[in-house]
């Protein structure tokens, strides 16, 4: 097994493909990467929003697709390879947050969250993997959340998907390094996007989406295994993972 540090993909290595790029973090990252010279392919379900984003930069091309459609994702990957060039980086960013509100136990919240956030990411990896493994190079990026560090109120479904992405990504990073593929996990705190604009509670250290995109792309250029921002918030959530779990649950249940 090779022990050399894998280097980050560069725009000269090929194309980046980003899901969930019709708004929020995905759209901001697409623009940031296009500005840094990348050829960017963007996916989401809303083709009108994707087209509007693609019209803002020559380097951005729209490929509407639902991440839960495994065959559709495979066809999209093939289309990007044929029309734009080699997939050098994929960013599994599409995600939904559906709160769990008890005492009702709504299993559909879990099903939908797992399908989009977790299986959607698997579908993207599966679609791009044959091309990357053949070339023995590529960067797989999973957009998780600090909600994946600890169990949080109303986040039983969402948090499970985000913890799943962190664990799955780490395992893939370990297994795929020998084939020249790197895996980066992104764990943002609160970022100002259409998703968080629905929240009615106070969001500490809420970060501007353009700044967040810059921090994320900086981390990807350094090929950091875990990328997190804003640090003044995410640091505390990371620290909380070291609390005795009984104490943690008692504190959070209040
Ligand atoms: N904002 C935050 O504070 C924050 C913090 C931590 C992690 N995150 C994560 O960052 C990612 C982006 O979130 P955001 O805040 O930017 O949210 P957002 O603005 O709501 O964007 C979500 C994106 O996912 C796409 N999407 C949803 N379901 C999809 C599906 N089935 N197939 C394809 N695309 C789908 C949406 O597009 P369509 O509806 O057009 O399909 C949209 O482009 C998510 O994974 C989220 O969990 C966000």
Q: CB–CB of 227/185 below 8 Å?
A: yes
Mean pLDDT score of the chain: 97
**Interval 116-134 mean pLDDT:** 98
What is the whole-number distance in angstroms between the Cα of residue 252 and the centre of ligand 1? 26
- Ordered structural domains, the chain, with CATH: 11-252 (3.40.50.720)
Within 6 Å (CB) of ligand 1, which residues are found? Answer: 19-26, 44-46, 49, 66-68, 93-97, 116, 143, 145, 188, 190-191, 193-196
The region of weakest confidence among 5-9, 124-128, 147-151 is: 5-9
23-49: per-residue pLDDT in tens?
Answer: 999 999 999 999 999 999 999 999 999
Please determine, for residue 135, whether its predicted confidence score (pLDDT) is greater than 90. Answer: yes
Residue 105: partners with Cβ closer than 8 Å, 6 or more residues away? none
What is the predicted pLDDT for the residue at 1? Answer: 47
CA dihedral 215, 216, 219, 224 (to 10 degrees): 140
The tokens for 190 are 């609160």
What is the predicted pLDDT for the residue at 178? Answer: 97
CA distance 110 to 102: 13
Q: CB–CB of 73/126 below 8 Å?
A: yes
Helices H / strands E in the chain, number of each: 9, 7
Alpha helices in the chain (DSSP H): 24-35, 47-54, 70-83, 107-113, 120-135, 156-176, 209-221, 231-239, 245-252
* Ligand 1 mutation target, pool 19, 24, 121, most atoms within 8 A of CB: 24
**Interval 177-192 mean pLDDT:** 98
Q: What are phi and psi of 186, to 5 degrees?
A: -110, 125
What is the length of the chain?
A: 254
What is the whole-number distance in angstroms between the Cα of residue 118 and the centre of ligand 1? 12
What is the predicted pLDDT for the residue at 5? Answer: 85
Q: What percent of the chain has pLDDT over 90?
A: 96
Q: CB–CB of 54/62 below 8 Å?
A: yes
Q: CB–CB of 109/152 below 8 Å?
A: no
């Amino acid at each position: 097994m090779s022990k050399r540090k894998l280097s980050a993909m560069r725009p000269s290595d090929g194309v980046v493909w980003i899901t969930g790029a019709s708004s929020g973090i995905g759209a901001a990252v697409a623009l940031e990467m296009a500005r840094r010279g990348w050829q960017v392919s963007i996916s989401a379900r809303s083709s009108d929003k994707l087209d509007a984003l693609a019209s803002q930069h020559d380097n951005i091309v729209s490929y509407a697709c639902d991440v839960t459609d495994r065959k559709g994702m495979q066809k999209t990957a093939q289309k990007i390879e044929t029309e734009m060039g080699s997939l050098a980086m994929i960013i599994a960013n599409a995600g939904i947050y559906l709160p769990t509100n008890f005492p009702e136990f709504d299993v559909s919240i879990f099903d939908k969250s797992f399908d989009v956030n977790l299986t959607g990411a698997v579908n993207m990896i599966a679609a791009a993997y044959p091309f990357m493994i053949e070339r023995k190079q590529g960067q797989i990026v999973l957009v998780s959340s600090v909600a994946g560090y600890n169990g949080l109120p109303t986040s039983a479904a969402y948090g499970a998907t985000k913890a799943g992405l962190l664990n799955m990504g780490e395992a893939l990073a370990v297994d795929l390094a020998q084939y020249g593929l790197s895996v980066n996990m992104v764990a943002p705190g609160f970022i100002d996007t259409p998703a968080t604009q629905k929240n009615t509670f106070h969001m500490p250290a809420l970060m501007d989406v353009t700044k967040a995109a810059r921090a994320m792309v900086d981390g990807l250029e350094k090929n950091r295994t875990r990328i997190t921002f804003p640090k003044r918030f995410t640091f505390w959530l990371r620290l909380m993972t070291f609390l005795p779990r009984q104490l943690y649950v008692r504190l959070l249940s209040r």
